[in-house]
Structure 1
Amino acid sequence: MHIRIVSDEDEQALTDLRSWLRRDPATRTLAVTPVSGTGPTMNALEALDIVLGHAVDIANFAIAYATWRSTRATGARTGARTLAHGGSANDIGDLTAEQLTELIRALEREAASREADDPDEDLAPS
């Protein structure tokens, strides 16, 4: 499953989160790719693309994210609060690890359901 954590105009929050995920033994093997902006924000860090391979990855990411949020200073609670997947964007800044895990699993089920409804979507001529 592929998710994106958006900067919410706080590049430093994404940098901190990426570093946190790299240091956490449970998440250091996750594929985390920085997404830089184009146009007027060229080279600015705008998002992190994260690939979660299975249920354990989802749970480990959710725990690491919730722990990272709780360690941030009160004034630094902006940025990296939006999880984007498919056409949805969700504010995850105040979710517990359990709530975040359930949200990601629900998004995964929704994506699987869409694929099951239209299995030939990728095969359609362009």
Structure 2
Amino acid sequence: MQLEVHVEPGAGELRSLQGWLRSDPDVRRSAVTELRGSTPRSGDMGTALDVLQLVTGNGWSAASFVMALMAWRQTRPQRPRVEIRRGDTVIVLTDCSPEEIERATRALEAVEDEDRGA
């Protein structure tokens, strides 16, 4: 499964998140992370790093991933908005409520089940 994570305000926060995820043993064991840029808009010079791409494999745990995202977000002074995309599915994390954690985990698990044809 391939996921894209967008963080506002941008590249610095994405680098921080990538480092956090790489240091989490559960996420590191089951996902590869890569910072990517988008196609520059008219008048922009080069590409901006604005997407953290995760490619997951065996042992992937949506719950571990969401908990790692929430833990990272709590360390940030501005508590950035985090958006997770998988195809047409978009999950936005804005707080650390138990309901939001559960909703995000269920949505990622549903996408994973669809990918497996379950």
Residue correspondences, number:
111
8 Å CA contact 2:27–2:60 kept in 1: the answer is no
Cα deviation, 1:37-81, whole Å, max 9, x if unaligned, reads: 2222633211011122246432321221111112222xx2224x1
Give the 5 Å matches for 1:1-126.
1-29=1-29, 30-39=31-40, 40=44, 42-54=46-58, 56-73=60-77, 76-79=78-81, 81-94=82-95, 96=98, 97-112=101-116
* Contact 1:52/1:58 (<8 A) preserved: no
CA distance in 1, matches of 2:76, 2:11: 14
Question: Which consecutive unaligned segments of at least 5 residues does structure 2 have?
Answer: none
Rounded to whole Å, the distance in 2 between the matches of 1:24 and 1:112 is 25
5+ residue gaps, structure 1: 117-126
- Partners of 1:43 and 1:50 in 2: CA distance: 19
Q: Which has the larger radius of gyration?
A: 1
The normalised TM-score by structure 1 is: 0.71
Question: Amino acid of the residue matched to residue 109 of structure 1?
Answer: D
**In 1: Cα distance, 2:48 partner to 2:22 partner:** 20
| TM-score of the pair, normalised by structure 2 | 0.75
Q: RMSD of the TM alignment (CA)?
A: 2.4
SS in 2 for 1:28: helix
Distance 1:24 1:3, change over 3 A: same
